[in-house]
Every structure is written in structure tokens, then in C-alpha cells.
Chains A and B, each alone.
Chain A
């Protein structure tokens, strides 16, 4: 069986630019000049999945979601 693959989806309306996510997952998330996250698109590497999940649940605005890729 193939292991499930995941990606991070940001709700840009909910996001307030707290920046917690970039601190917890700097490998995939950096901040723009105004403090809003720029998220690398595509699949989260498997070794970073725990960190990605922590970044998602730590968002004070609940703007970040870890989503299973369907294909």
C-alpha cells in the first residue's frame, strides 16, 4: 500500500501573520516582508510531517491545514 501524501493549505483571509508556522516549519515556510507566510507548494517531505502538523495546530487563527493529497 502506498503511504498517504500531505500538503499544507493556507486560508489567506484567516491568516493574520502571527508567524508561528514559519518558526515551527522553516524548511517549508518562510515569511514575506510583512510577516505573512509563503508556503512551499507540493508534498510535505515525510520526515517533516510531525513538524507540519504541529505548525498547523499551533496557528492561533486556525488558518493552516494539513491536507491529504488525493492523487
Chain B
């Protein structure tokens, strides 16, 4: 039965404007259905023509709608969005703060950049709706420097149109792997230097974040989905996807086509279908990295057959994470790829927690030995999961856990290759490195 508070899909947009009713997108392209030609940023007029404005939801009615929609966070954790907004709303007496998080430190991901640069108004709609829902008076948009012009223009357009009841401010996210981590985002916003993750202990950010206020840090894709749920309702949102993972997801697909592509796909569809590959194509690549550098590896066969959901990814010890899907080509050594990334991740650590500082250095060294000097690896391959166990769950943030997952799943998928290294020595390949690593990655300031 329809919630009486649910606006019909055409309710507000047609009211009095004389414009034709806005239809919700019917297919698998929802967010990307609004992308302009040649990837130009969609301006406010064009945006409102396409989507209409977000109807006003009274009181907490939108929280019920969010819960009913089953939307989960697309920043990496896949936490129920309704639950998070609810906890921020009731967290304290002081008015909360909303952070639209588009920092996207994950080098293999590009979907958040597409959203904030090409569809800034959809993200801002979601952020403003979040602010209205949790009772926040201020929205921060946390994005890399490259996205600042597009976001600033969009904010100015809205200000001139008098669209939003709250202040919106852009904050530049540093070019670091950990920039998007929740407590690091808060550190950037309050101007703390270095803007590294902090230990939140017993008071999570949603209770005590920016300026001690309850703070909702929400990924920009999640906000864009919320902006469409705000217009078309939960029932529409659930028309694609699975009961547990409804809706669509933005993926950054690398290694399938000549250039990386941003693809929007319904959750629950077999990954092979999205990649336009059959099970017979499993030998055309060596494995799939799902989620990103904090995600995990899956064998080609498993990847092609698995439904695209966080639940399925976790069954393989992986995660959909930030939506990265990287197909490792057959001409590279998977262990040297893993080693390059682990070395990068070790350097991206904040240098704050003892187990992470010491453990990741030793882990990166061991993985490097397996890749390039297998004879030097003491204790064999089995030494590596033991090192993973020494860092897991022991940091102020989840960085060490992500690195451990990346390594553990790599050893599972490339175990035969590791055995070959130990028998015959390292691979000699002239293939260029595959997984992207930012060119300049100086170590973040330690304490």
C-alpha cells in the first residue's frame, strides 16, 4: 500500500509550472539518465526541466520513505541510509551538519567525480533534502580541487534562485587515499592539520562531528539516489535491484574496454551481464578486483557468475565498496600488481596507529618479496595472512582492514601463481603496470 505521505511521481513538478509532468526513469539508467551531452555540467534550469524540484516532505515522513526504499550507502560501507539519517536526527540538541562526501580517494574509482562535475544539482538536491530531514542548517560539499568550479557554480545558481533554506559550502578534499574516510573528512572541514582520521571511540561522528555537532557524512552517490527517492518514492526505487539491495549502482569498470567506463547497473544482475561477457570469456582475464583497493579479488569465473550485490561480494571475502570493477589482463604479473598497490597503500597510511605503521610496512615488504624476490620470503606464503591478522581491527580507521582484505583475497585468487613464484622465481614481463596509482604520493604527515 502506498504511504499517504508519498508524493506521486508527478506531483510537484507539474503543479502550477505549466511544464509537462516529470516521469521517473524506467530503465536501469537513473542517475546517468540526467547526464548532459559531452559530459558538460547540467545547469539548474536544465536540471529542473529534467527532474522537477524535490517535493517537501513533512516532519519525519522522508525517513520512513528512505527506510522503505532500502537505500544503502554507496561510499563503500553499504550501511542503510535511513538508519544513519535517523541516528543523526536524534543524536543531540544541537542542530546537525550534513557533509556531501565526494572525496573519492580510491584511485580506480571515477564515479563520484562524474556525479559532482556533471550532475552537481542532483547531489545538492540530495544533500539539501538530507539537511531538511535531519534538521541541519549547513551543508558542506567535500570534493577534490578539480570538482570545485562545477560545484561552486551550481551552489551560486541555487543561491540566486533562492532554492535552498540552508547554507552550502565547498570544502577541498586533499588528494589522499584516506581523504574520504569519515573522520578525515570532518578533520578537513574543521581545518585540522594534518587532516588524518581520528579515533572516535564511544562517540561516533553521527553524534559528535563538525564543531561537536551531530554530523551526517554521506557519499555523493547515495545523496543523488536519495534525491530521486525524494521525487519518485520508495516504491519506484525498488522497481529494480533485489529486496536486500534495491536500486542501481554506479560502477567504474577498468580493463574491459579500451578506456575505463562509468556504468550504472541494477543491483543483483550477474556481473558478467554488465560486462557483456559470458562464462566462456573467463580465461580472457586473470581476476576481478571488486570495490577498489579496500575491496577484494574474485576469480574470473566467480566474478562473471556472481550477482552484483554487497551480500554476494562478501561471500567471496570481497566488497562492492565504492563500485570499482577492475579486470586484470592476462599479460601482467598479478603479484607485482598487488605489491605495487600494497606499497602505495602503506605510504597512504596516516602514520598514527602503531599496528598499522609497523604492520603495513612489514606486510608490504613480504608481498614485495613474494612478487620480486620469492626466495627471500621467510615462512613462505603462509606468513602473509598471519601479518594481515596482526593489523586487522587495530587502527583508528578501517585502512589496515582494507589492505588486509586486498591481500588475503589476492592470495586466494592468485595462490597458484604464488606457488609458481616460489618454485621458479618471479615473472619477467614487459607489460606496463595496470592498476592506477597516483603519480605523486608523498607520505602524509605523521604525528
**8 Å CB contacts to A: which residues of B133-150?**
none
Q: Min CB distance, A5 to chain B, in Å? A: 15
Which residues on B sit within 8 Å (CB–CB) of A57? none
Cβ-closest chain B residue relative to A41: B393
Q: Are B352 and A13 in contact (CB under 8 A)?
A: yes
Q: Min CB distance, A36 to chain B, in Å? A: 4
Which residues on A sit within 8 Å (CB–CB) of B353? 12-13, 15
Which residues on B sit within 8 Å (CB–CB) of A17? 354
Q: Flag whether B37 is at the interface (Cβ < 8 A).
A: no
- Chain A 3-23 interface 0/1 with B at a Cβ cutoff of 8 Å (1 = within): 000000101111111000000
Q: Are B355 and A34 in contact (CB under 8 A)?
A: yes
Q: Are B198 and A32 in contact (CB under 8 A)?
A: no
Q: Are B201 and A9 in contact (CB under 8 A)?
A: yes
Complex-state Cα separation, A69 to B226, whole angstroms: 34
Q: Are B198 and A13 in contact (CB under 8 A)?
A: yes
Which residues on A sit within 8 Å (CB–CB) of B199? 11-14
**8 Å CB contacts to A: which residues of B263-293?**
none
Known contacts A9-B201, A12-B396, A13-B396; decide if A34 and B352 are in contact (CB<8 Å): no
Cβ-closest chain A residue relative to B356: A12
Complex-state Cα separation, A67 to B201, whole angstroms: 10
**How many chain B residues touch the partner (CB < 8 A)?**
16
Contacting residue for A36 out of B198, B358, B396, B447, CB 8 A: B358
Which residues on B sit within 8 Å (CB–CB) of A11? 199, 201, 396
Q: Are B394 and A12 in contact (CB under 8 A)?
A: yes
Which residues on A sit within 8 Å (CB–CB) of B202? 9, 67
Which residues on B sit within 8 Å (CB–CB) of A46? none
Q: Are B352 and A32 in contact (CB under 8 A)?
A: no
Which residues on B sit within 8 Å (CB–CB) of A12? 199, 352-356, 394-396
Complex-state Cα separation, A59 to B198, whole angstroms: 19
* Of listed B352, B353, B354, B395, residue having the most chain A CB within 10 A: B354
Contacting residue for B390 out of A9, A15, A33, A67, CB 8 A: A33
Complex-state Cα separation, A62 to B9, whole angstroms: 55
- Chain A 38-71 interface 0/1 with B at a Cβ cutoff of 8 Å (1 = within): 1000000000000000000000000001010000
Complex-state Cα separation, A11 to B200, whole angstroms: 8
Cβ-closest chain B residue relative to A16: B354
Complex-state Cα separation, A32 to B390, whole angstroms: 7
**8 Å CB contacts to A: which residues of B173-222?**
198-199, 201-202
Which residues on B sit within 8 Å (CB–CB) of A16? 354
Q: Are A36 and B355 in contact (CB under 8 A)?
A: yes
Which residues on A sit within 8 Å (CB–CB) of B359? 32, 34
Complex-state Cα separation, A9 to B353, whole angstroms: 14
Q: Min CB distance, B203 to chain A, in Å? A: 12
Q: Are B355 and A32 in contact (CB under 8 A)?
A: yes
Which residues on B sit within 8 Å (CB–CB) of A35? 354
Q: Are B354 and A36 in contact (CB under 8 A)?
A: yes
Cβ-closest chain B residue relative to A63: B199
Which residues on B sit within 8 Å (CB–CB) of A14? 199
Q: Are A34 and B358 in contact (CB under 8 A)?
A: yes
Which residues on A sit within 8 Å (CB–CB) of B447? 13
Which residues on A sit within 8 Å (CB–CB) of B390? 32-33
- Chain B 406-447 interface 0/1 with A at a Cβ cutoff of 8 Å (1 = within): 000000000000000000000000000000000000000001
Which residues on B sit within 8 Å (CB–CB) of A33? 358, 390
Q: Min CB distance, A61 to chain B, in Å? A: 11
* Of listed A13, A32, A38, A65, residue having the most chain B CB within 10 A: A13
Contacting residue for B201 out of A15, A36, A65, CB 8 A: A65
- Chain B 340-364 interface 0/1 with A at a Cβ cutoff of 8 Å (1 = within): 0000000000001111101100000
Cβ-closest chain B residue relative to A11: B199
Interface CB pairs A-B, < 8 A, 18: A11-B199, A12-B354, A12-B356, A12-B394, A13-B198, A13-B353, A13-B396, A13-B447, A32-B355, A32-B358, A32-B359, A34-B354, A34-B355, A34-B359, A36-B354, A36-B355, A36-B394, A38-B394
Since A11-B199, A32-B358, A36-B358 are in contact, a sample of 6 more A-B pairs with Cβ atoms closer than 8 Å, ordered by chain A residue number, is A11-B396, A12-B352, A13-B352, A13-B396, A34-B358, A35-B354
**Nearest 7 Cβ contacts at the A-B interface:** A36-B354, A12-B353, A34-B358, A13-B352, A11-B199, A13-B199, A13-B396
Q: Which residues does B use to contact A, with CB under 8 Å?
A: 198-199, 201-202, 352-356, 358-359, 390, 394-396, 447
